[in-house]
Amino acid sequence: MAGTIPLCRALCYSSDRTQFLHAREADTTVITVDRLSETPLYLQLRDAVIAGIAAGELRPGDALPSVRALAEDLGINLHTVNKAYATLRDEGYVIMLGRRGAYVADAPANPAAGMGAPALAAALEKLAVEFKASGGTRAAFLDAARRAAADLPEEADHVR
């Protein structure tokens, strides 16, 4: 695939093999799983890839680790990684090229092709309701949202 920069597999693990690092030049993308979390492992993997894309650590055309290699490196089931990649494919973040592997997809020409305004509003509303139900205030929610968004690159730096 022309113009792709595959990520190099680094031999860096946490002591319990729940973290595997991938590096390209000076950039590092960390993929971690927390076996004690209530969040399913495939969603943790999905979220780690999306965070890497949002941070500009993973760019269109970058190769993701093979399903088999990532499953082995993290010590998790092959089908878990496959489900994460399939979810990312279905959401438009990744393209699957058969035996050639999974690659970060180009940003859509139409930003609404990803998470559009209605989906974003619904997700934020759900978070706000849960935060309020746990005793949080509107001001604290807005402050947390601002802090979370502050680390995102500007549109000129990274498009997705």
Which pLDDT score is estimated for 44?
94
Amino acid at 119: A
What values do phi and psi take at 33, rounded to 5? -135, 150
∠ CA(89), CA(104), CA(11), 5° rounding? Answer: 110
Which pLDDT score is estimated for 28?
53
Query: If pLDDT is split at 50, 70 and 90, which confidence band does 114 have?
Result: low
Say if residue 25's pLDDT is above 60: no
* pLDDT per position as a tens digit, 42-77: 999 999 998 888 888 888 999 999 999 999 988 999
| Whole-structure pTM value | 0.64
